């Protein structure tokens, strides 16, 4: 699938983020892996992503979680047709100080596909709460973010 080849190409994704998501580019987000089931996004610990307390700024963590869930949804939408998607809510729980790089992983591709399919079948907007966990190099979960996505068919007018 063309979308996934592009999402997994570091040069293409860096250019896309620079052009369309400059804050994500500035923070240094990168896609480690993305397929139809799982997406991993890396958030480095650098001065561009940290707060004054020498840990990763919470908004950078939420941005990485949003990207890991959103890329999965976008991969399924590419096959579905014209559809809009929008974040309607975000909730985060922080368990450990993030003072090293984090890898955010969402493994809910099959569930997102079902919600997108239901949107297509019913023509009605649907929402889905996708979960992404930010894990430190030690394997400890530092943060869990739940991103609520809304899916709606685009009008053809």
With 0-12 / 13-18 / 19 or more C-beta atoms within 10 angstroms meaning exposed / middle / buried, residue 115 is buried
Q: What is the dihedral sign for C-alpha 87, 96, 14, 36?
A: negative
Q: CB within 8 A of 100, min separation 6: which ones?
A: 45, 136, 137
pLDDT tens string, the chain, 157 residues long: the values are: 799 999 999 999 999 999 999 999 999 999 999 999 999 999 999 999 999 999 999 999 999 999 999 999 999 998 777 899 999 999 999 999 999 999 999 999 999 999 999 999 999 999 999 999 999 999 999 999 999 999 999 875 4
Residue 87 bridge partners (DSSP)? 149
Q: Give the pLDDT confidence score for residue 64 in this predicted structure.
A: 98
Look up residue 20 and give its two tokens: 């369309």
Give how many domains the chain has, as a whole number: 1
Which tokens belong to 147?
A: 């991103």
Residue 157 is predicted with a pLDDT of: 41
* Residue-number span of the structural domain to which 55 is assigned: 2-153
Q: How many CB atoms lie within 10 A of CB 40?
A: 20
Vertex 56 angle, CA 51 and 60, to 5° = 95
pLDDT at 156: 56
User: What are 61's strand-pairing partners?
Assistant: none
This model's pTM is above 0.85: yes
| CATH number of the domain to which 15 belongs | 3.10.129.10
> Cα angle vertex 75, ends 71, 77, to 5°?
115
pLDDT value of position 108: 98
d(CA 50, CA 77): 33
């Amino acid at each position: 699938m063309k979308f996934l080849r592009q999402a997994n190409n570091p040069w293409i994704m860096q250019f896309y983020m620079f052009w369309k998501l400059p804050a994500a580019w500035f923070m240094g987000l990168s896609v480690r892996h993305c397929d139809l089931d799982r997406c991993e996004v890396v958030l480095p610990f650098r001065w561009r992503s940290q707060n004054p307390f020498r840990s990763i700024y919470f908004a950078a963590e939420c941005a990485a979680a949003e990207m890991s869930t959103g890329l999965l949804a976008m991969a399924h939408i590419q096959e579905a047709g014209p559809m809009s998607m929008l974040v309607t809510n975000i909730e985060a729980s922080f368990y450990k100080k993030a003072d090293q790089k984090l890898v955010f992983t969402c493994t809910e591709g099959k569930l997102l596909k079902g919600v997108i399919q239901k949107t297509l079948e019913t023509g009605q907007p649907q929402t889905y709460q996708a979960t992404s966990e930010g894990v430190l190099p030690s394997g400890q979960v530092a943060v869990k973010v739940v991103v609520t996505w809304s899916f709606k068919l685009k009008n053809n007018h």
